[in-house]
Amino acid sequence: MPDFEDTLRRNIDRGSAFCELLNDQVVGGMLVGGPTPADRWIRWLAVTATDRRRGVGGALVEKALKLFPPPGTVALHTFGEDNPDGAAARRLYLRYGFEPRAMADPGPEGGSRQLFVLRRA
């Protein structure tokens, strides 16, 4: 997974990415950002296929929420309901209180995407 790791490492150096390691191997990562402290984004969150359903995604979301304390919003785009491969990601975000909003532009593979927003008082 060279592109994944290269992108992640480059952004970790900039302070705009985090990763989860297992046995010194990258098993998940996320890019974060936002224009203001009150308007933050999880730009990209990925977990290796073999490490899904092991709490890696949840650990990354928790890092983002600690990084972005209230008040403010945290937003992200995830797979639309019509994409069965995105069901676990949607459940993860719902579990943390994110609410589904408007549909977004399709992903690079042509699949649907939806905006999810967490408002934090």
Residues 66-91 have pLDDT tens digits of 999 899 999 999 999 999 989 999 99
* Residue 49: partners with Cβ closer than 8 Å, 6 or more residues away: none
40, 75 contact by CB (below 8 A): yes
Over residues 95-116, the mean pLDDT reads 94
Question: What kind of architecture, by CATH, is found in domain 2-120?
Answer: 3-Layer(aba) Sandwich (3.40)
Fill in the amino acid letter for 38: A
Residues 34-45 have pLDDT tens digits of 878 788 999 989
- List 113's β-bridge partners, or say none: 79, 104
Cα-Cα end-to-end distance for the chain = 38
